[in-house]
Structure 1
């Protein structure tokens, strides 16, 4: 290696590391979703959902039912 080689790539490490960190943060976290509730169980309207790390009393849960159970629940 020549003496000036390290100096040419050093300025690129900070922007490259920053871009990598932004891409990692975007892909590693799941985005919140919006769900519209029309049932009478809670007030109708838009609800934001996100993965639950822990649940507390009073928290709402969104559950995807299996197809055979969906048809039973709508009867």
Structure 2
């Protein structure tokens, strides 16, 4: 899994995750396991990266809590 920060989140049900050293990654509310409304701009999340129609997209987006260690950068996760 990759780690990033919620950069933007819209009322239309999508947003972008900022990843250090990489382009932003699109995410849709359906990739958040029912937790889209709970995510906040600036919050750290973990996610899988998939190939989307217009570039990389996130799936299995989950908020990182204090108990969860952060994972490898996106380059390692996408390899």
Q: Whose relative contact order is higher, 1 or 2, with alpha carbons under 8 Å and at least 6 apart? A: 2
Give the TM-score of the pair, scaled to structure 2.
0.18
Give the TM-score of the pair, scaled to structure 1.
0.18
1 or 2, which has the higher helix percentage? 1
